[in-house]
Structure 1
Amino acid sequence: MVMVSAQNRMGIFSFESNRIYTSVSSPKPFPASGFFSCWRPTSRVALWSKNPSKKKRKFALRVVNSGGGVLEKEFEFKPSFDEYLKTMESVREKKQSFKSNRGKSSRNFGENENMSKIEHNDVKMKSEGAVRARSKKALLVKSEDDDVKALRDNPQVSRIQTEERTKESAKLRKCDSNSESYEDNVNLIKFGGFSKEVKMSKVFKYNEVNSKNEGIRRTRSRKGFVEEGEDDDLKIERTAFKNFEESNDIVNKPRVSKMEMEERIQKLAKSLNGADIDMPEWMFSKMMRSAKIKFSDYCILRVIQVLGKLGNWRRVLQVIEWLEVRERFKSHRLRHIYTTALDVLGKARRPVEALNLFRSMQQQMASYPDIVAYHSIAVTLGQAGHMTELFDVIDSMRSPPKKKFKTGPLGKWDPRLEPDIVVYNAVLNACARRKQWEGAFWVLQQLKQQHLLPSTTTYGLVMEVMFECGKYNLVHEFFRKMDKSCIPNALTYRVLVNTLWKEDRIDEAVSVVQVMEKRGIVGSAALYYDLARCLCSAGRCQEALMQIEKICKVANKPLVVTYTGLIQACLDSGNIENGAYIFNQMQKYCSPNLVTCNIMLKAYLDHGLFDEAKELFQKMSKDANENSSKCNDLNGVVADSYTFNIMLDACVQRNRWDEFEHVYRRMLRHGFHFNAKRHLRMILDAARAGKGELLETTWEEMDRAERTPPLPLIKERFCMKLEKNDYASAVSCITIHPASELQALSKSVWLNLYKDNASRFQQETIIGLVEAVDMIIGKSESPNPVLDNLLASSKQILRTGLV
């Protein structure tokens, strides 16, 4: 037998192995714990585990009702809920007094702080007492449940006794639940706990007043919440018991679909493409943030790709620079983003910018170039012909990084790579641009050393290098060598056709293409285009036009580009008739563009066909009011500055001043302004040829634009007005402009002007000019050195008698 006894003020407890007895020496009940006022002997019930391998005893307490009934008062839980409510109200009053006395003095602040600590300890003590009572009550509830179960299993116990015991257990459980709910509320006040689903208790209803717009600081610790004043506590309570659906802190928005995200990306890319390239950085950042896009690696890649398709490589670099300074953007595929930007720069033919971006990739481990990046930069440099930079890239490809990186868990990290066939093909491209045929043999030697077989594209590029260097015999030799080992492709046949064209072997070029088609090889648009130009240069336009149908099947470029190339081939061979024939045939299938029209216009003028050029110019320069449809037989082609300039040059060369006046007035009407470098000499010659109205028109046009006319134009207009004895207008040519802009009109300049135009002036004209200038100078308050020089030179001319 094991005996454990403890004597205290409450009573003496004794335990036996076979039977458990509890006795209390004091007749007083336990008001704070909820235990019975007197304890009766109970029997032990042994419960064996269902698992036979683990036989463990479980003990439960059975309460024997020897008094013939259940004492409901013994199951009451005290202190009651009203008492705790009074306690919480007193706490609230003390906190309000603490708030009113805050800030008076440091002494009052210390007293309030002590009062807050007392309140905190009071609530803490009562909460701990409730926890102890709850644990004891749980033990009784468990005992009561086991007792009820035993009564149900015992056939000798009546149903009435079982129901009574069940009701008692329910009451006890209800009392325990009330205590638990109250204790949870007390803990929420104490620690400022947050919960997603909280039931409002009566204790905290007074905190609901004016709590909708109150905010809280989530980063405070629990200790800070307790030590703060009434304001912080109320904020915590209001937020803790706010309805979850009304909370503004929870963002519960639906996930954006992939299609909607793609639309936002497209909209952002188009906005960036249409914006000014010189826009400030803050405006660019605002435009990026206003797109409502989560900037992940995928979104950035898509934005760069769309901008690349639009051809805006400058904006791509601006996006990259924006990402580098954006601290919140954590990229997991930074290398892919840079590689995509490299591809965009390569397609835009920007090798310098691509090389700078490639160098910046080598400064970070996350963006260090891989084989795809090396391919992109190599192709870009090779197409641009930057041989030295390309070999530097190959050296860096084979060498370890110049900058030491912290590899961390990666350990030994070796990014060195060997050039492959793509890199060597890029070298061949550079050799073709630089016309260095020795480089082709170096590439073949490197491929042999690395045991790489040259591809068909490699042989085609080698042939192209030999073609650009004028080594036509080597072109045929490499073609025969390749034909023995592999099947030639369209690139190699194109180089062969161009070689035969240079050798003036047109028939063999046609037969080579026929052999290719018999072998089942599909020719490229470039191949048929070169063959058609070859035929046009030989004067075989009908056969050249037959290649158009083949070009249309495989071409990606517009048909107008093909026709323009054929016209240019005819003109290069000096055959204007064939060029005009193809130009007329072209209008049956597609509309000529401005480039085509300008080429034909210049061809007509160069070959002395001024009337044909004039007719074509009339079609290009028709105004909207002259042709309401705006779509004549040239489909709305409008002349540009190049069109007007070549027509003005042709009119001046042929001294056809009437046509010159017509073309010049049309130019001004189309919105193209006077250009002193190009039009000044024309206007002066036209004015001396009797077309002084053009000078006046130019003067008025520059006056409306608030531009100062050039000095030769001022002097010519001065002479014209002086020749007509219009002294006021002649002097106004000088006075309407600031004297600082006419400092070049010195006394010697005026003397030379009189000498060069002596035949145009009479002595009476100079005398009248002197009187007019004297009158203007006398009325003027401030001196005018230009007029003084004019007056002095005029008097000198009169004294010398040169006029």
Structure 2
Amino acid sequence: MVAIILTEALFGASLCTDFNGVFGSNYLRCPCFSSGFSISETPTLEISLGKKRVKNQKRNAGSVVVSCGLDNVINREELEFKPSFDEYLKAMESVKEKKQRDSVRRKKSEEKGKFVKSEKEKCVESSDFVELNEKYEGVGVVKESGGGGKLEFRKVENQKRQSISKDKNVDEMVSMEREAFKTMDGDVYDKPRVTKAEMEERIQKLAKCLNGADIDMPEWMFSQMMRSAQIKFSDHSILRIIQILGRLGNWRRVLQVIEWLRSRERFKSHKLRYIYTAALDALGKAKRPVEALNLFNAMQEHITSYPDLVAYRCIAVTLGQAGHMKELFDVIDTMRSPPKKKFKTNIIEKFDPRLEPDVVVYNSVLNACVRRKSWEGAFWVLQQLKLRNEQPSITTYGLVMEVMFECGKYNLVHDFFKKMQKSCVPNALTYKVIVSTLWKEGKTDEALLAVEDMERRGIVGTASLYYDLARCLCSAGRCEEALMQMGKICKVATKPLVVTYTGLIQACLDSGDIQSGAYIFNHMHQFCSPNLITYNIMLKGYLDSGMFEEAKQMFFKLLDNCNSISSKLDGKDKVFPDVYTFNLMLDACAAGKKWDDLKFAYSHMLKYGYHFNAKRHIQIVLDSCRDGKVELLEATWKDLARADRVPPVPLVKEMFRVQLERGNIAAALACVTDYPPAESQAFSSKFWMKLFVENSDRLSDGTLFRLLQEVSRVVARNDSRILNNLMASCKEFLRTRSTKLDRVHSETALVC
């Protein structure tokens, strides 16, 4: 069809003939033109070639002139161009067949490695087009001349060249069409089809590689890893990768996959909303409400990713668990409103994404009310459900009771529990809230009865319910009964057993019952080994109860675990002290002024790689120095020097004083000489004067005179603002002290 249209455009020309001369009133119409061919006064010659038009030249510009009288008759067949359609097809088919023969011959020659297209073939190929063109061309212009009636035709060479070029273009387009529909060469169809199981295995492998890779790897490396997985990236594969990364908790990699997906212009997603919703779910499980909200806002920018009910549920649950009440209400407003951005849709198609919140969204609001302790929000949810003529579900009632419990409205907890029983059967969640409420109210027996009522109804309690009951019993000093609940906890528990025992110990300590806590601590060794958190809780419990020796023995036991390690296998099941453990012992030793124990604990803290913390340890070091125990100060000074850390100003002041009292002037000046100039404003003249006044009874005049002489020599070599302030304050202090001494001596002499 393309060839026919182009050829018709080429050969379907309109021909007009011009007679040179003016006919005035004797204008005659020749019989030979009765079919409609007329001669106009200002004739033109136009030949349609596609979009181009070739107009004739002016009458006097190189035209063939013909003289015509009344008796001269122009042959109509010589003027009209009438190529038959059959001839055209025959000519075109001959050209196509020759091209096909040449193509076959060329392929055979290429297989033999001897194909060379000769000039002769090129000439033959060109001559075919010339012959075709000459067969259907020969139309010239007709002009009138005064000397005879000879009709001549002149072939226009420019038109001939254009015609040849057009025939070549037609043939090339036919050849291109034929090439487009050829089958693909090679072994494309020989490759076996990848099965679903194999594709899933590749997806799993890629997700694990992405999860284990460095999160800060460059973008090009991430793209290379994605492309090298040999996965056809479709909606399904991207969705599976995000789901796997979400289960692994790698929310950063999920966002990176989404960002990579946005930058792929060639990736055409038909289920982009599902992919974004899976990412929302992954961010929600990872407790990342801010990132989830940003992704949710990005979903509203395109019609293909505009949130649906599932997406609204995901973002609502995430925001509700995080307690973001304001943002959650904004999501509900968005849910009920039309899109802020206008999308282009079909006229017939109607896009109305407005939805009403369902029970999942309202329960998310209750979750936020629990975190915010907002009992008003709970009543708002109940009012909204009433307007929709919906009865609150058992989960909704349980969340409302939990809101009232967190707000301390224990009477409303019992009221809603009774109201709920009228319409539905309580579940384990509601019974858990009841047990917790009775525990806070100090009604231990009522809590036991509530659990018995639950079991009598055939409801299987959760681990958290039995855990709260056991802690309730521990708080009442009934640790034996609490340990009896461990069997029920183990049947439904998902957390390690050591966590449960630690919680029971904490409940005993919170109630001030250190003996029950110690009893459970010793009892748990029969079933599991205490972890570091358990040891620290017991250590703190002993220290808060004034049982320093018991705490000291437990601390020594932890240190022995460090000393008894000979290989990695030995330290697998042993517990070692951490910085929290050392801080507990340091605070207790400093409070009791047990300086020897303090020195022992502090030296071991530095030994095990826990460095000096100014906020926690500076006061302990200064207090020990004031009591004459400078070992902690010296150990801290060496530790800071090894770590190339700048000592705090109070420690510099204390070390300067200690060295000055010892008479070591050079060591005292070394404390401040190398101090960074940026911190020099702390060592003002007032600072040095205050130091001299506070330690006037410990510093002799001789020591101060030697200090003044040494400072003068150092300042002469190295001008320092700190030393200049020190020298000026030292002079002022000596002058003031000398004046006071002279006054004292004079007053003493007068008295005598």
Scaled by the length of structure 2, the TM-score of the pair is 0.72
Contact kept? 2:562, 2:576, Cα under 8 Å: no
CA distance in 1, matches of 2:415, 2:290: 36
* 1:695-774 correspondence runs (5 A): 695-774=633-712
Question: Which residue in the other structure is 1:523 paired with?
Answer: 461
How do 1:566-581 residues align onto structure 2 when only pairs under 5 Å count? 566-581=504-519
**SS across alignment from 2:246:** helix
CA offset digits 1:286-332 (Å, max 9, x no partner)? 44444444332223223322332232323322322232222222222
* Residue aligning to 2:445: 507
Q: Assess if the C-alpha contact under 8 Å between 1:591 and 1:634 holds in 2.
A: no
Answer yes or no: is 1:606 the counterpart of 2:544. yes
**What residue is the counterpart of 2:727 in the other structure?**
791
The CA distance in 2 between the partners of 1:614 and 1:308, in whole Å, is: 45
| Counterpart-to-counterpart distance in 2, 1:784 and 1:469 | 62
**Residue 103 (structure 2) aligns with:** 187
Q: Output the CA distance in 1 between the equivalents of 2:730 and 2:190.
A: 90
Q: Which stretch has the larger CA shift, 651-660 or 482-491?
A: 482-491
Cα distance in 2 for residues equivalent to 1:751 and 1:397: 69
Aligned length: 593
Shift, 1:254, TM fit: 4.8
Aligned-partner Cα distance in 1 for 2:422–2:721: 87
Q: 1:207 to 1:680 in 2, by over 3 A?
A: farther
Q: Does 1:559 align with 2:508?
A: no
CA separation in 2, counterparts of 1:466 and 1:796? 69
Cα distance in 2 between the residues matched to 1:267 and 1:203: 47
Unpaired runs of at least 5, structure 2: 1-89, 118-164, 170-183, 742-752
**Residue in structure 1 matched with residue 382 of structure 2 by the alignment:** 444
Pair 632,497 (structure 1): closer, same or farther in 2 beyond 3 Å: farther
Matched residues in 2 for 1:647 and 1:298: separation? 57
Change (3 A) 1:326 1:732: same
| CA displacement at 1:522 relative to structure 2 | 0.9
Shift of 1:441: 3.8
Matches within 5 A, 1:72-151: none
CA distance in 1, matches of 2:723, 2:429: 73
CA distance in 2, matches of 1:609, 1:199: 101
| Partner SS, residue 620 of structure 2 | helix
Q: Distance in 2 between matches of 1:503 and 1:326?
A: 60
Equivalent residue in structure 1 for 2:244, among 299, 302, 306: 306
> Per the alignment, do residues 576 and 407 of structure 1 end up closer, same or farther by CA in structure 2, a change over 3 Å counting?
same
Per-residue CA shift, 1:599-655, capped at 9, x if unaligned?
222111111111122222223344644343678999322222222222211111111
Could you tell me which of 261, 265, 272 is aligned with 1:334? 272
Distance of aligned partners of 1:512 and 1:689 in 2 relative to their CA distance in 1, 3 Å threshold:
same
CA contact 1:334–1:366 (8 Å) conserved in 2: yes
Contact 1:624-1:630 at 8 Å conserved across structures: no
Q: Are the counterparts in 1 of residues 109 and 115 from structure 2 also a CA contact under 8 Å? A: no
CA spacing shift, 1:647–1:727, aligned 2, 3 Å:
same
**Residues 185 and 201 of structure 1 are in contact (CA less than 8 Å); yes or no, is this contact kept in structure 2?**
no
The answer on whether the counterparts of 1:428 and 1:462 sit within 8 Å (CA) in structure 2 is yes
Q: State the partner residue of 2:406.
A: 468
Deviation at 1:510, TM superposition (A): 0.9
Judging changes above 3 Å, is the alpha-carbon distance between structure 1 residues 796 and 481 closer, same or farther for their aligned structure 2 residues?
A: closer
Per mean C-alpha deviation after superposition, the further-off stretch among 543-552 and 301-310 is 301-310
Distance 1:552 1:753, change over 3 A: same
CA positional deviation for 1:562: 1.4
SS at match of 2:261: helix
8 A contact 2:561–2:575 mirrored in 1: no
2:332 is equivalent to residue 394 of structure 1: yes
Deviation at 1:725, TM superposition (A): 1.9
Residue 292 of structure 2 is matched in structure 1 by 354
- CA, structure 1 residues 748+288, in 2 after alignment: closer, same or farther (shift >3 Å)? same
The verdict on how the C-alpha distance between 1:534 and 1:797 changes in structure 2, with shifts beyond 3 A counting, is same
- Match of 2:5? none
Q: Distance in 2 between matches of 1:394 and 1:130?
A: 70
- Which SS does the other structure have where 2:659 is aligned? helix
Any gaps of 5 or more consecutive residues in structure 1? 1-127, 135-179, 193-197, 209-222, 228-242
Structure 1 residues 576, 632: closer, same or farther in 2, change over 3 A?
Answer: farther
Contact 1:536–1:566 (8 Å) recurs in 2: yes
Secondary structure, aligned partner of 2:726: helix
| 1:484, distance to aligned residue in structure 2 (A) | 3.3
Deviations 1:744-802 (A, max 9, x none): 32333222211111222222222222333333344x2x422322332333333333336
Q: Which one of the candidate residues 289, 299, 316 is aligned to 1:378? A: 316
* 8 Å contact kept, 2:276–2:299: yes
Q: In structure 2, the residue corresponding to 1:522 is in which secondary structure?
A: coil
* 1:179-218 Cα shifts (integer Å, max 9, x gaps): x9x97451357xx8xxxxx65568851569xxxxxxxxxx
Superposed CA offset, 1:332-367 (max 9, x none): 211111111211222222323222222221221111
Q: CA RMSD in A?
A: 3.5
Conservation of the 8 A alpha-carbon contact between 2:414 and 2:434: yes
Distance 2:95 2:310 in 1: 72
Alpha-carbon distance, 1:468 to partner: 2.8
Contact 1:463 1:492 in 2 (8 A): yes
Distance 1:675-1:254 versus aligned 2 partners, 3 A rule: farther
Task: Report SS of the residue matched to 1:324.
Answer: helix
What is the rounded CA distance, in whole Å, between the counterparts of 2:640 and 2:110 in structure 1? 86
| CA shift digits 1:60-91 (9 cap, x unpaired) | xxxxxxxxxxxxxxxxxxxxxxxxxxxxxxxx
State the distance in 2 between where 1:130 and 1:439 align: 84
SS of residue in 2 equivalent to 1:510: helix
- Aligned position for 1:617: 555
Q: Which has the higher contact order (CA 8 A, sep 6+)?
A: 2
Question: Shift of residue 516 of structure 1?
Answer: 1.5
> Contact 1:130–1:183 (CA<8 Å) still a contact in 2?
no
Provide the C-alpha distance between the structure 2 equivalents of 1:434 and 1:560, rounded to a whole number of angstroms: 31
Q: Which piece of structure 1 moves more, 258-267 or 589-598?
A: 258-267
- Residue 301 and residue 709 in structure 1: after superposition, are their counterparts in 2 closer, same or farther (change >3 A)? same
How much does 1:591 deviate? 2.1
Residue matched to 1:644: 582
Residue 205 (structure 1) aligned to one of 100, 104, 114: 114
User: Which residue type is aligned with residue 280 of structure 2?
Assistant: L
Q: Given residue 386 of structure 2, which amino acid in structure 1 is its aligned partner?
A: K
Of 321-330 and 596-605, the range deviating more from structure 2: 321-330
Q: Secondary structure at the match of 1:412?
A: coil
The answer to whether the 8 A contact 2:477-2:508 is kept is yes
Matched AA of 2:704:
I
Give the CA deviation at 1:589.
Answer: 1.4
Whole-angstrom CA distance in 2 between matches of 1:386 and 1:792: 60
Given that 2:323 and 2:367 are in contact with CA atoms closer than 8 Å, whether structure 1 keeps it comes out as yes
Shift of 1:267: 4.4
State whether residues 657 and 686 of structure 1, in contact with CA within 8 Å, keep that contact through their aligned partners in structure 2.
yes
Q: Percent of aligned pairs with the same residue?
A: 62
Q: How does 1:660-679 map to 2 (within 5 A)?
A: 660-679=598-617
CA pair 362-654 structure 1, distance change in 2 beyond 3 A? same
Is 1:535 the counterpart of 2:473? The answer is yes
- Relative to structure 1, is the Cα distance of residues 438 and 691 closer, same or farther in structure 2, using a 3 angstrom cutoff? closer
- The 8 Å contact of residues 466 and 474 in structure 1, kept in 2 or not, is answered as yes
| Code of the aligned partner of 1:797 | F
Q: Distance in 1 between matches of 2:442 and 2:399?
A: 22
Structure 2 counterpart of 1:115: none
Give how far 1:434 is off: 3.4
In structure 2, the residue matched to 1:428 is 366
**Runs of 4 or more above 6 Å deviation:** 128-134, 629-634
Q: Distance in 1 between matches of 2:250 and 2:468?
A: 31
Using the alignment, how far apart are the partners of 1:500 and 1:568 within structure 2? 19
In structure 2, the residue corresponding to 1:367 is in which secondary structure?
coil
CA-to-partner distance for each residue in 1:507-556, whole Å, 9 max, x for gaps?
Answer: 12112211221221111111111111111111111111111111111122
